[in-house]
Amino acid sequence: MSTPLPTIVGWLGYGGLLPFLACAGAIMADAAHSPAYRQALLDYGAIILSFVGALHWGFAMTAAGLPQRTRQSLWLWSVVPALLGWIALQTATGPAVAILWTGFVAQYVQDLRIHGAAGLPGWYLPLRGRLTLVACLSLGLALLSDR
């Protein structure tokens, strides 16, 4: 039996999309200030990418019964998204968006790979998929504003 999405998790997860959506909307609505909104969007994307990577550190520490090799791979992976976010912030908009997209998609693939072994609740993957999709779509608007 699948557990329902806890209300607080829904509020926090979907609430975390507000900066993505607000920056994307501001980019579309205010061309004169779109470079500042674009940078804010990229900055927030890098922060959130780092956050979702850190989840795997937590899984490695708390998931009972993980083989040591899996636990070590989770710890190793958990720092990759932060590094990708940092690298993205050192580049121009096009490469930054590509790096962030790659990071978010790779993180979701890692979530798919580990969800069973880590004993993640049934609501986790659908939530992460929706959040990843909206984050990536929002980041795509940074490309449109950089023309």
Concatenating the DSSP letter of every residue in the chain gives: -PPPPPHHHHHHHHHTTHHHHHHHHHHHH-GGGHHHHHHHHHHHHHHHHHHHHHHHHHHHHH-TT--HHHHHHHHHHHHHHHHHHHHHTTS-HHHHHHHHHHHHHHHHHHHHHHHHHHT--TTHHHHHHHHHHHHHHHHHHHHHTT-
C-alpha 96/C-alpha 91 separation (Å) is 6
CB atoms inside a 10 Å sphere around CB 8 = 8
Q: Tokens 């993180």 appear where?
A: 107
- Confidence at residue 146, expressed as pLDDT on a 0 to 100 scale: 65
Question: By the 8 A CB rule, do 123 and 9 touch?
Answer: yes
Question: pLDDT tens digits for 34-89?
Answer: 999 999 999 999 999 999 999 999 999 999 989 999 999 999 999 999 999 999 99
CB atoms inside a 10 Å sphere around CB 86 = 13
Dihedral sign of CA atoms 74, 78, 83, 88 in order:
positive
Q: pTM of this prediction?
A: 0.94
- Confidence at residue 137, expressed as pLDDT on a 0 to 100 scale: 96
